[in-house]
Amino acid sequence: MTDFPRYGVIIPCYNAAATLARALDSVTRQTALPTEVCLVDDGSTDGTLAVAADFAAKHAAIKLKVHAFVKNRGPAAARNQGMRMCGAEYVAFLDADDEWHPDKMALQLELLISNRLDIVGSLVRIAGECANDGFDTQRMPQRSLNVSVRSLLFKNRFITPTVLMRPDPDIWFDERKRFGEDLDYWLRYLSAKHRGAVILIPLVTLGKPAFGHAGLSKNLLAMQLGETAAIVASTRSSPILMLAALLYSFFKFVRRVVIVRFRARAS
């Protein structure tokens, strides 16, 4: 597939001067380039906007749109603002401390179009935990897995910086939430009869572990409460499914606590 549809990239930023250039560079290396990058500065107090300006000066072929919040409003508000700014048919989310594999967007666009999907994710890798952070996707099996509301209740397959999607004008991130807002959004999106899948290749390198390291993801209890609220809201009509999903979620929470404590002792 060579004629890819137009897509924009949404990057929320908060004090990301040290990592933003690396994230943006991974966008410029895509074999399927975006038509625009929508960067939302969430009240940064460092040089994040200066890094964005430097990128715009060096990469005139990619349209950079920047919106700066005066005060920090959280990732949900930043992503909503990015979707309002983006004029492309599809949007892809990227966090300011993460990176994309060069083939990420080409593979996801091809899967999305050929299978008439609305949202596609991928697997992830953690920076520094792999001996080789570069790999040839052509030598890997091109496997994917369909994602339903039921399966999403037990495992969040849509890690935000992996997601490519067609926005729904009636569905937005809940800006009242600071934790679990992503799972809440994906559940509501799939519940609206949108079709999703995940590519079983790690196409995103996370700058830090998904939980228990830094930023919002460090607060395990708040993350758990956010996930619990998303599950409850999505399963009110099915008490048995709610109970099963909540029990499994609690098991995952205990596992995360053990992993974080082990990391702390190891360091």
CATH classification of the domain holding 27: 3.90.550.10
Instruction: Give the pLDDT mean for 256-262.
Output: 84
Average pLDDT of the segment spanning 247-254: 94
Q: What is the pLDDT of residues 132-187, one digit of tens each?
A: 455 666 656 679 999 999 999 999 999 999 999 999 999 999 999 999 999 999 99
Residue 127's pLDDT band, with cuts at 50, 70 and 90, is confident
- Output the pLDDT for position 133: 52
The model's pLDDT over 31-70, given as tens digits with 9 standing for 90+, comes to: 999 999 999 999 999 999 999 999 999 998 899 999 999 9
In a domain, 101, yes or no: yes
Report the C-alpha gap between 93 and 167 in whole angstroms: 11
**Could you tell me the pLDDT band of residue 266, with boundaries at 50, 70 and 90?**
confident
* Residue 123 domain-assigned (yes or no): yes
* pLDDT score recorded for residue 139: 56
Residue 264 has pLDDT above 80, yes or no: no
Helices (H), the chain: 20-28, 48-58, 75-85, 104-114, 149-154, 181-191, 220-234, 239-266
Locate 174 and state its tokens: 């809940």
2 part of a folded domain: no
> Is residue 61 one of the residues assigned to a domain?
yes
Residue 10's DSSP bridge partners are: 38, 93
* pLDDT at residue 209 tops 80: no
pLDDT at 98: 97
How much is the pLDDT for 217? 46
**How many domains does the chain divide into?**
1
b/e per residue, 40-75, with b = 16+ CB within 10 A?
bbbbbeeebbebbeebbeebeebebbbeebeeebbb
The distance of Cα 15 from the centroid of its chain, to the nearest Å, equals 18
Residues in the chain: 267
79 CB burial (10 A radius; 0-12, 13-18, 19+) = buried
Question: What whole-number distance in Å separates Cα of residue 27 and Cα of residue 4?
Answer: 15
Transcribe 64-122 into DSSP letters. EEEEEESS---HHHHHHHHHHH--SSEEEE--TT-EE-TTHHHHHHHHHHHTT-SEEEE
Cα separation of the two ends of the chain: 46
Q: Which amino acid is at 18?
A: A
Task: With a cut of 90, say whether residue 20 has pLDDT above it.
Answer: yes
Between these two residues, 111 and 142, which has the higher pLDDT value? 111
The answer to whether position 1 is within a domain reads no
pTM over 0.95: no
In terms of residue numbers, what domain contains 59?
A: 7-266
